[in-house]
């Protein structure tokens, strides 16, 4: 079975983390997001995959090549200008010869793809859209369906009291190649605003597959942290992180923890990390390769990328710190902060709740 992955965007909602790192390559428990997605697809029998590229394309192609490392076959299609979700799939049309999956490039899920495919085939659908429940549907595009699952209409961000349901478009589709025929080559086209409404107006068989399986759009810093918390707490699954909930700490090669440090898992350490005397680390927390936490410092639900140095008696709470950053002695980083790559936070600094710091700066 084939799939098209829409990973070409630059991930503006994740800035400043994606200023230097394409969204598909941001680390999820120390592995690129795309690697988790490829493992998930392979586990569901989807191993022939087209990746649409736009922003920093070499970063992805150089890392994953033909896909053999992940046990899949990868092909790449480049967008010279942004084509929209449906336009990007049209751009990959030459690689498609039967029904195929489409994935938006910021989703982590445990949806049963074989069950969804069976649903699609039994209804002779030309398009099947996965739906997932959310608490606040007014922030998303809501899909209204008939009792048999046929899609009736799409409602973009309805007021809470007017939403017909709490089921939203999950950004996962099964399409027959014929649905691409009406999209001109090289034109900008969106599934939600153009292609799907056009199919409905033509009376095409568009169905919705509703599921309560785990699903998260990790495209914001808050959701990016949450998906890693969920993986460490076993609320969702990934073939790349298979430790049991009982494993409080998972340490890679060369990591050294001082005997007086206090660890409250779940915590994942990358290679060659060092934890100083009296440091306190409370999970769920992830440290990338080469991180150091000095004496007396505190990490609480923190996500540290590679080569982050946390000075003595500093504290980082519920925040994300990019590659090669220095957190100065006695600094305080409040929850929700996002720090880009190569930032120096000087001694005694205080980052306020939700503060964002752009790469290559000094605070």
pLDDT tens digit sequence for 188-237: 999 988 999 999 999 999 999 999 999 999 989 999 999 999 999 989 98
- 207 or 56: which leads in pLDDT: 207
Q: Which of 42-56, 95-109, 154-168, 317-331 has the lowest mean pLDDT?
A: 154-168
Q: Band of the pLDDT at 247, cuts 50, 70, 90? A: low
Mean pLDDT of the chain: 92
| Residue 278: per-residue pLDDT | 98
**Residue 9 pLDDT > 80:** no
**Residue 157 pLDDT > 90:** no
pLDDT tens digit sequence for 286-329: 999 999 999 999 999 999 999 999 999 999 999 999 999 999 99
**Domain 2-232, CATH among 3.40.30.10, 1.10.10.10, 3.30.2310.20, 3.90.550.10:** 3.90.550.10
| Residue 140: per-residue pLDDT | 77
**Residue 156 pLDDT > 80:** no
What kind of fold does domain 249-357 have according to CATH?
UDP N-Acetylglucosamine Acyltransferase; domain 1 (2.160.10)
- 251 or 19: which leads in pLDDT: 19
**Residue 252 pLDDT > 90:** no
| Residue 244: per-residue pLDDT | 58
| Residue 246: per-residue pLDDT | 53
| Residue 284: per-residue pLDDT | 96
Mean pLDDT of 345-358: 97
Q: Band of the pLDDT at 88, cuts 50, 70, 90? A: very high
Domain boundary assignment for the chain: 2-232, 249-357
Residues pairing with 101 in the sheet = 3, 174
- 126 or 58: which leads in pLDDT: 126
| Residue 62: per-residue pLDDT | 93
Backbone phi, psi, residue 267, to 5°: -135, 140
**Residue 68 pLDDT > 90:** yes
CA distances from 145 to 102, 225, 318 (A): 20, 32, 39
| Residue 245: per-residue pLDDT | 54
CA distances from 19 to 45, 100, 358 (A): 34, 32, 8
**Residue 125 pLDDT > 70:** yes
Q: Band of the pLDDT at 10, cuts 50, 70, 90? A: low
Query: What proportion of the chain, given as a percentage, has pLDDT over 90?
Result: 76
């Amino acid at each position: 079975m084939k799939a098209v992955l829409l990973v070409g965007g630059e991930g503006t909602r994740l800035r400043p983390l994606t200023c230097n790192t394409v969204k598909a390559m941001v680390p999820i428990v120390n592995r690129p997001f795309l690697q988790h997605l490829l493992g998930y697809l392979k586990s569901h029998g989807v191993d022939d995959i087209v990746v649409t590229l736009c922003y920093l394309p070499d970063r992805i192609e150089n890392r994953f090549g033909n896909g053999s490392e992940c046990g899949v076959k990868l092909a790449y299609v480049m967008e010279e200008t942004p084509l929209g979700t449906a336009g990007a799939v049209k751009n990959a049309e030459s690689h498609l010869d039967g029904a195929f999956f489409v994935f938006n490039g910021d989703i982590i899920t445990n949806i049963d793809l074989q069950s969804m495919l069976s649903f699609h085939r039994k209804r002779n659908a030309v398009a099947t859209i996965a739906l997932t429940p959310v608490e606040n549907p007014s922030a998303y595009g809501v899909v209204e369906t008939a009792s048999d699952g046929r899609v009736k209409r799409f409602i973009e961000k309805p007021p809470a009291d007017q939403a017909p349901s709490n089921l939203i478009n999950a950004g996962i589709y099964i399409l027959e190649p014929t649905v691409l025929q009406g999209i001109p080559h090289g034109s900008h086209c969106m599934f939600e605003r153009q292609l799907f409404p056009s199919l409905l107006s033509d009376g095409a068989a568009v169905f919705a597959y509703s599921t309560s399986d785990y699903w998260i759009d990790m495209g914001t810093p808050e959701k990016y942290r949450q998906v890693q918390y969920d993986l460490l707490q076993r609320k969702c699954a990934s073939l790349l992180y298979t430790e049991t909930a009982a494993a409080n700490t998972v340490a890679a090669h060369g990591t050294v923890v001082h005997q007086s440090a206090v660890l409250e898992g779940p915590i994942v350490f990358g290679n060659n990390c060092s934890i100083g005397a009296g440091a306190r680390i409370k999970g769920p927390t992830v440290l990338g390769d080469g991180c150091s936490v000095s004496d007396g410092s505190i990490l609480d639900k923190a996500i540290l990328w590679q080569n982050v140095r946390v000075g003595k008696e500093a504290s980082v709470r519920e925040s994300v710190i990019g590659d090669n950053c220095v957190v100065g002695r006695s600094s305080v980083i409040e929850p929700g902060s996002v720090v880009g790559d190569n930032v120096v936070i000087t001694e005694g600094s205080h980052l306020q709740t939700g503060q964002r710091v752009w790469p290559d700066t000094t605070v």
